[in-house]
Amino acid sequence: MSSKPLLPSPLRGENLTLSYDKKIVAQDLSVAIPEGSLTVIIGPNACGKSTLLKTLSRLMQPQAGSVWLNGEQISRYATKEVARQLGLLPQSSNAPGDISVMDLVARGRYPHQGLFKRWTPEDQQAVDEAMQATGITELADSAVDTLSGGQRQRVWIAMVLAQQTPLLLLDEPTTWLDIAHQIDLLELMRELNLKNGRTLVVVLHDLNHACRYASHLIAMKGGKVLAEGSPKQIVTAELVEEVFGLKCMIIEDPVAHTPLIIPLGGVWSNSGRLPVAGRA
């Protein structure tokens, strides 16, 4: 929130006014992404999460306020320099024509290519490693437009990974993925954060995934930050109800020892609806 002191950060927005389709979605919004964190942004639909992510990446311009990347206003950087520092996976992406998987992932190396620079073994290694990490190596020669939604999503993620940027911004990256591939991706993000030292900013809808994998959580509603900090610090039943309008109880995840949200909605059986335990 604008009144809260900003943390030392490689990426931050100050006093932002954000709009989407000519509608103001946030005013006087300030956020700071802690360096070396896996920051997850949560909140209900249309609360400004995706617009904030696009603004932090310079894909969208704020109506007011400024975005700072490594101590400089992001607007002062050349486009390629931004792309060498920051990789973005938006919610939806369209592949050109019948491009192959290998060729699309290779486009992630564009920021590292000069006018006369040839493709190098380092470029190929970055592409190979990104494809291996996302489990798409066997799809290298396939046309992207012939793949399933989940396969295409993994290809786009591989392209962003191939950029090898210190900052990664991913907007709902688990969309289209089955549960096994969702966990694979979340584990990969944790590895990139903990072992490779990358700072990640991720928009997720699954609150329990957010609590398990985030080192820093930002809870938004109505274009405002209602709470931020580690999941153990900020996630309470009161916060979940305030942000999502969902009554719940919080228990400890028996595996990760992070907050686990249990909705208190009705329970159903073959004979009809049963009352929630503890209710008449």
Percentages (nearest 5) of helix, strand, coil residues in the chain? 35, 30, 35
Per-residue DSSP letter, 100:
B
Answer whether residue 271 shows pLDDT above 60.
Answer: no
| Tens-place pLDDT, residues 75-113 | 999 999 999 999 999 987 777 778 999 999 999 999 888
Can you tell me the mean pLDDT for 124-130? Answer: 95
What is the reported pLDDT for 31?
A: 96
Percent of the chain with pLDDT over 70: 91
Stretch 1-7: mean pLDDT, rounded?
Answer: 41
Grade residue 265 by pLDDT with cuts at 50, 70 and 90.
Answer: confident
Question: How far, in Å, CA of 220 to CA of 243, rounded?
Answer: 7
Residue (of 85, 20, 38) closest to 215 by Cα position: 38
- The sign of the torsion formed by the CA atoms of 208, 209, 210, 212 equals positive
Lowest-confidence pick of 20-29, 83-92, 114-123, 221-230: 114-123
What's residue 186's pLDDT?
95
Max alpha carbon distance in the chain (Å)? 74
- In angstroms, what CA-CA distances link 95 with 98, 99, 162? 8, 7, 16
pLDDT in tens, 153-180: 999 999 999 999 999 999 999 988 999 9
| pLDDT score for 95 | 79
**Is the overall model pTM greater than 0.75, yes or no?**
yes
Least confident of 91-105, 181-195, 208-222, 248-262: 91-105
Where residue 267 falls among pLDDT bands split at 50, 70, 90?
A: low
Question: In the prediction, which pLDDT does 5 show?
Answer: 40
Instruction: State residue 118's pLDDT score.
Output: 83
Q: Would you state the pLDDT for residue 266?
A: 60
Distances (CA, A) of 26 to 66, 71, 166, 202, 266: 13, 23, 27, 19, 34
What pLDDT was estimated at residue 21? 80
